[in-house]
Amino acid sequence: MTGQALVIGGGPAGLMAADALLSAGRSVTLVEAKPSLARKLLMAGKSGLNLTRMEEPGRFLAAYGAAAPHLAPMIGAFGPGEVAAWAEGLGQKTFTGSTLRLFPEVMKASPLLRAWLARLDALGLEVRTRWRWMGWDKDGGLCFDTPEGPRTEYPDITVLALGGASWARLGSDGVWAGHFRHAGLPVTPFAPSNVGLAVGWSDHMKRHFGEPLKNITLTAGDMTSRGEVVISARGLEGGGIYPLTPVLRTGHTLQIDLKPDMDLASLTARLSRPRGKQSRANALRKALGLTAAAQALLMEYARPLPDDPQALARIVKSLVLQGATPRPMDEAISTAGGVPFAALDNGLMLRDLPGTFCAGEMLDWEAPTGGYLLTGCLATGLWAGRHAADWLAAQPVRNRDR
């Protein structure tokens, strides 16, 4: 192995770890199982690369839920402001949208990635693609399946940035978890995160496929989200549902408030108005002010509608979607599960494998979409890279001169 540091995984976390190590004066080789780097980042950038969200620190950190205390120092060192400065430093002008999401002006990932790879190349990064990590040998060597055949490497330090277990075709297949378990290292089982719901629609919903449901509030268990979802042939998709995944995957039922800006009493009063010669459907449409898609959803789950105005108002305020379940893990944007923080020290080094650090989605944390995922990957990659460099510098010279 040429150089002292090996980074396995060519996504944002791995690239940021390599950046930190190179900036510390270390020689770095980065290996990636796929033919090219950062495929998931490029895919995410096709619909507009959401880099981060320019929120105040406390609110931003809260998006990471139970993992927030572990991630706090890393997000504190590389949070929204630092992400914006980093992108600008790579020549990518940014703008902040009305929802505080930060985007590159070009709305694509490819220019940012090209600039980043050019920077890393200038710093001396060596990249090897089509190198798939196959675990450790009995002597602690890192085994690879490469185009030239099996290889075993013995770097001074290693940063693992192997991703989660969704989007396998882009490289995040979670196979590495088996290597960890074989080595006796703990891994929390994977679970889908930021994933849509599977719904078995009746035929009358077909004409609404592709239509959005806006200005709604979604609730499951003790979690609530205000956002937008889209009706699809397979169910419901969108940012309104994604934050609720942690409770939806444990069996909680989704409830939707179709009129969140109107209280129960006001809605009951509207529904109590005489309808005159209007059909009930027209009277409901005018009283509720629902879009065709929202009214169709109401009929899908509450037909026949009760005659009592207050009972109907309660349904509109809390429409229960029985039978809606999370889509399969490989359709998820990200996953929960991975290397537990208890198995790592404060620098993200494996306690049972000194000199080996972990970063990115392979860590056991999850966050909703909207810039939190990418920021978390960048922040943990930088943290692991910096601490790996510091750890190597602290080792006796005889252990690191090869």
**Residue located via tokens 């972990």:** 358
**Phi, psi (rounded to 5 degrees) for 354:** -55, 135
pLDDT tier at 397 (50, 70, 90 boundaries)? low
Share of the chain above pLDDT 70, in %: 98
> How many domains does the chain fold into?
2
Residue 299 in this model has a pLDDT that exceeds 90:
yes
The mean pLDDT of 308-319, rounded to a whole number, is 96
User: Is the bond into 304 cis (omega within 30 degrees of 0)?
Assistant: yes
Residue 399 in this model has a pLDDT that exceeds 80:
no
Dump strand ranges (E) for 296-345: 319-321, 325-326, 334-338
Rounded (5°) CA angle 281-227-74 = 170
Residue at which a domain ends, from 326, 341, 368: 326
**Residue located via tokens 């976390």:** 13
**Phi, psi (rounded to 5 degrees) for 113:** -65, -40
Query: 178: alpha, beta or left, given left = phi > 0 and alpha = psi -120 to 50?
Result: alpha
Name 288's Cβ contacts closer than 8 Å, sequence gap at least 6.
258, 259, 267, 270, 271, 295, 316
Q: Are residues 156 and 184 in the same domain?
A: yes
Q: How many helices (H) and strands (E) does the chain have?
A: 14, 20
Q: Are residues 96 and 232 in the same domain?
A: no
Q: Are residues 314 and 394 in the same domain?
A: no
Q: Are residues 23 and 166 in the same domain?
A: yes
Would you give the DSSP letter of residue 363? B
pLDDT of residue 45: 77
The mean pLDDT of 264-289, rounded to a whole number, is 86
Query: What's the pLDDT tens digit per position in 18-47?
Result: 999 999 999 999 999 999 999 999 998 777
Q: Are residues 61 and 119 in the same domain?
A: yes
Q: What's 157's domain CATH number?
A: 3.50.50.60
DSSP 145-156: EETTEEEEE--S
Q: Are residues 55 and 162 in the same domain?
A: yes
Q: What is the pTM of this model?
A: 0.91
Distance of CA 226 to the CA centre of its chain: 18
The mean pLDDT of 4-24, rounded to a whole number, is 97
Query: What is the rounded distance in angstroms from the CA atom of residue 209 to the CA atom of residue 244?
Result: 22
Residue at which a domain ends, from 291, 309, 326: 326
Residue at which a domain ends, from 326, 354, 379: 326
Q: Are residues 221 and 284 in the same domain?
A: yes
Distance of CA 194 to the CA centre of its chain: 6
Q: Are residues 312 and 364 in the same domain?
A: no
Q: Are residues 93 and 29 in the same domain?
A: yes
Q: Are residues 126 and 43 in the same domain?
A: yes
Are 53 and 371 contacting, i.e. CB atoms less than 8 angstroms apart? Answer: yes
The mean pLDDT of 247-261, rounded to a whole number, is 95
The mean pLDDT of 299-303, rounded to a whole number, is 93
Question: What single-letter amino acid sits at 253?
Answer: T
Q: Are residues 44 and 178 in the same domain?
A: yes
**Phi, psi (rounded to 5 degrees) for 139:** -100, 5
Indicate the range of 92-96, 202-206, 329-333 predicted with least confidence: 329-333
Residue 400 in this model has a pLDDT that exceeds 60:
no
Residue 402 in this model has a pLDDT that exceeds 50:
no
For 322, counting Cβ atoms within 10 Å of its Cβ (0-12 exposed, 13-18 middle, 19+ buried), the class is exposed
pLDDT tier at 398 (50, 70, 90 boundaries)? very low
Helix, strand, coil fractions of the chain, as percent rounded to 5: 40, 25, 40
Show the tokens assigned to 356. Answer: 């080996």
- Domain of residue 26, residue span: 5-192+331-400
Q: Are residues 20 and 99 in the same domain?
A: yes
Query: What's the pLDDT tens digit per position in 46-95?
Result: 778 999 999 999 999 999 999 999 999 999 999 999 999 999 999 999 99
Query: What is the rounded distance in angstroms from the CA atom of residue 295 to the CA atom of residue 135?
Result: 53
